[in-house]
Structure 1
Amino acid sequence: MLPDLPAFLLVAAAAAVACRFAGYVAMRWLPPSHRLDAALRATPLAVMAGITAMALAVGGMTEALALTLAGVVALVTRNDVGAAVAGVAFGAVLRAFGL
């Protein structure tokens, strides 16, 4: 374990909690609008795009194949959670076979 790992985890957890509470606080003062609604709907997609882009940049063929499968499953089934589970499972199988 890295010596800085507990500090990193603590900072990441604090940032996650702060972001969660900031949403509730902001919604108290921001008037509802179509632009705000669109921004709130786009946030999960932006987060997932950032995560997958980082995985593709750092990873190799295994990550690319797993993300491709997850994308195909998401398009075919329209089930994001199922697609994520399928991608992770496929990546684990590929890693188990040494790819």
Structure 2
Amino acid sequence: MNTAALFTIAGMAIVTYLTRVLGYLMLRNRHLNLRARSVMESAPGCVMVSAIAPYMVSTNPAMVIAMLITVGCAIRLSMLPTLLISIASLGILQIVLG
């Protein structure tokens, strides 16, 4: 792994961690109304969508099928089962379809 990739990954990890910590510190003594709470609860879903969005334009059949499975699971299941099923389905499909 080259140095630029390592620094990029480390930078993304630090920024992700800081957004969590700073958000907690800024909101720890505040009472959120229903709308604000709803926005905060939907944030993990937004992160998941941004992670799978590049695969929506992929030409790899395993990735496209796994993305469709993920969308189907996201409609019916909570975040953790959806994540586990999507990871497992992509792994299995990559083995089967190459």
* Structure 2: distance between partners of 1:59 and 1:12: 27
Deviation of 1:98 after TM superposition, in Å, equals: 3.8
Give the deviation of 1:29 after TM superposition.
6.0
Give the aligned partner of residue 39 of structure 2: 39
The Cα of 1:57 is off from its aligned counterpart by 3.0
Mapping of residues 16-95 of structure 1, within 5 Å: 16-28=16-28, 30-58=30-58, 60-76=60-76, 78-95=77-94
Percent identity of paired positions between Structure 1 and Structure 2: 15
TM-score of the pair, normalised by structure 1 = 0.77
- Mark the CA change 1:38 to 1:13 in structure 2 (over 3 Å): closer, same or farther: same
Counterpart amino acid of 1:86?
Answer: I
Aligned-partner residue type, residue 91 of structure 1 = L
Number of residue pairs matched by the alignment:
98
Which amino acid in the other structure matches residue 64 of structure 1? Answer: V
Scaled by the length of structure 2, the TM-score of the pair is: 0.77
Give the match for residue 5 of structure 1: 5
Deviation of the 1:59 alpha carbon: 5.7
- The alpha-carbon distance between structure 1 residues 36 and 75, as it changes in their structure 2 partners (threshold 3 A), is closer
Write the deviation string for residues 44-86 of structure 1: whole angstroms up to 9, x where unpaired.
Answer: 111111111123234632111012123334445x243223222
Q: Which runs of 5+ in 1 are unaligned?
A: none
Relative contact order, CA 8 A, sep 6+: which one is greater? Answer: 2
* Aligned CA distance change for structure 1 residues 13 and 73 (closer, same or farther; 3 Å): closer
